[in-house]
Amino acid sequence: MSKPKTVSDLLREVRAEIPEISPAEVDALRTSPAPPAIVDVRDLDEWDQGHIPGSLHIARSYLEQAIESEVPDRDARIILVCSGTVRSYLAGRALRDMGYGGIAVMAGGFHGWKANGLPWNVPAVLSSPQKLRYSRHLLMPEVGSEGQARLLASRALLIGAGGLGSPSALYLAAAGVGTIGIVDFDVVDLSNLQRQILHTTDRIGEKKVESARKAIAALNPDVAVIPHEEMLVGDNVERIIAGYDVILDGTDTFETRYLLNDAAVAAGIPVVHASVFRFEGQLTSFVPYAGPCYRCLYPTPPPPELAPGCSVAGVLGVVPGIMGMLQANEALKLLLGIGTSLAGRLLLFDALETEFTELTLRRDPACPVCSDEARAARERGEAPAPSAFPADAPFVLGGAGFGGSIARDNNPEANA
């Protein structure tokens, strides 16, 4: 029977198999055109005290579970970092057993990095209640303490506190988006409560922005609510959207959508757009110049008979809830810089069949707002302000892939 190995035996073996690399070499590689994955295997409290810029935090206890999603390429170059080297070498042994080949350990660990005077980041410190409130975010490397601090410093603007804005507002607030602006000039009506879950029976007759403020404050006191109790029009749109990081469009008129689109493109602010009709919904993200804008998709509005409002056609109450939650998901991805946005993609939802359909959208090279020519003219200060929409132009759908296959008998661009 062989003698059991001690930790010293394991370290001696793995040190002979996994190379060390100096902090200076790691710093040079970190800023190279093809940087390696620098994986910090320290515990979260150590990471929170400081870490290498651009490094990926995966605590040693979660390494085997998380590494495949974070670094799926078994041939990728990985540099392991801990406070010294012991956890890095043991982590390297585990990764080697999983088939990862390009593994190295940074000599001296994070202490050696600091001792060499190299740059390091200190994430924003969350309070104890915040660490508990957002604990499920902090466990995920894609968010973590840095991402949560980013959310707390972010500003999201909701156009409308109705069927779409209600779930969006609640989930953004729950996620800790630090400032939420709400544009709405309406009051709570009994007919709203079938789908507008921000509001309650005892707040019928109250201003929607105030009702929303109360709901958000009760959910998360970290969030500051900025009410904009006014209609979004050409004279105020630039002032209202200024300073926000993302806009969630829950508007119910085409004219407002065009005005918002044009101002957001000019300001460089992404817009997460959703709309609903009866049992259907659609969703996309308009990220300036990364994909089409609203005018690329709808160069002209449809006639009223193709886009009746909810007060005429009705809507299943859960449909704006589903689409509003998806809007919040898109907004969080954009704020955190993670995942793949819906820029250039249109997501269609059919509640009766519980089916999602995705269509590809294209930028219109002749778009009066987001084309290269319009962008250059705007930068020269020469871009004309387009009208809300040409009154005499026929309704067409632009920008859709698959031969414009998004046309439907009834279009889900309706009131929520």
Segments of 186-235 assigned E as strands:
224-228
* Residues pairing with 283 in the sheet: 274, 347
Nearest C-alpha neighbor of 95 from the set 70, 126, 129: 70
Identity of residue 5 = K
Q: Using an 8 Å Cβ cutoff, are 285 and 291 in contact?
A: yes
Is 367 a known active-site residue?
A: no
Half-sphere exposure of 354 (CA within 13 A, CB side): 0
Residue 392 DSSP code? T
Structure tokens given for 350: 């059919």
Rounded Cα–Cα distance for residues 100 and 85 (Å) = 18
Structure tokens given for 365: 């090279």
Structure tokens given for 370: 């987001």
Rounded Cα–Cα distance for residues 137 and 95 (Å) = 25
Q: Find the DSSP H helices in 235-293.
A: 237-241, 254-267
Q: Which CA distances in Å does 351 have to 164, 194, 196, 322, 346?
A: 15, 16, 18, 9, 16
**3-state secondary structure at position 72:** coil
Residue of 82, 296, 310, 367 marked catalytic: 310
Residue with tokens 């959310």: 151
Rounded Cα–Cα distance for residues 56 and 73 (Å) = 15
- Output the CA angle 61-67-68, nearest 5 degrees: 140
Rounded Cα–Cα distance for residues 287 and 265 (Å) = 8
Q: Using an 8 Å Cβ cutoff, are 37 and 63 in contact?
A: no
Q: Just list the catalytic residues.
A: 310
